[in-house]
Structure 1
């Protein structure tokens, strides 16, 4: 599978090749910050098949978190494109909303960090729901 995507303003583009390692929905508080309050849909793609094809991303990592991830954004429009997680270096976590064709995502396989879900969130009942990350 080859997927392509980019940011809202078009300054950054990427290509990811390979089979998705996971497809998930995340309710963690950090994802709520980047989405403006919603959960976030993500697809982990093999890191060796991921490349920025136009522009450059700006990375941000919170130093106050023990296992802080690096979130990659467009420096111009602020679109959150990808995440790189310590301990999961084999993958780049692509944000589904940045895909040229988000329909290729299909459905998530799991919902994660239900412990951070707000009253206005709807937790799915047709897939596994984890209180923390499924791989912890």
Structure 2
């Protein structure tokens, strides 16, 4: 049996389950992630869309990513919690936001992206690969 990571919004209306280990995990300090989270940045975990199941209603907010493509953030229309990124049924992978995890201990960041935008008051955990912008 593979490991399943679960999570969702504050009110429980928007949920997900991800099978297996994430393809990547890290911290993003870009301006979009700071504004969307209301904090220093966002912890994220990337999963293939085939590993994920979603339940409940989601609303989307679309902005331009650093690469110029659309960045789609999904949030609960009831409580407003930011839960995941990507378009279900279209994208081949999705970003799960670490703040939405049922068990926050499963989040083990490996990288930092957009470190150039990290607030001076936000410390970095030791041992992470740090990128000043989006890595290639």
TM-score if structure 2 supplies the norm length? 0.86
Runs of 4 or more consecutive aligned structure 1 residues displaced over 4 Å after TM superposition: none
Other structure's SS at 2:109 match: coil
Q: What is the distance in 1 between the residues matched to 2:71 and 2:125?
A: 25
| 1:109 equivalent in structure 2 | 110
Name structure 2 gaps, 5 residues minimum: none
Q: What root-mean-square deviation, in Å, do the aligned CA atoms of Structure 1 and Structure 2 show?
A: 1.9
Q: 1:84 and 2:99 equivalent?
A: no
CA contact 1:28–1:116 (8 Å) conserved in 2: yes
Note the alpha carbon deviations across 1:27-86, whole angstroms, 9 max, x for none.
111110111132211111111121212x2111111269722310000011111101128x
Cα separation, 2, equivalents of 1:81 and 1:68:
17
* Alignment match, 1:14: 16
Question: TM-score under structure 1 normalisation?
Answer: 0.86
Structure 1 residue runs of 5 or longer lacking an equivalent are: none
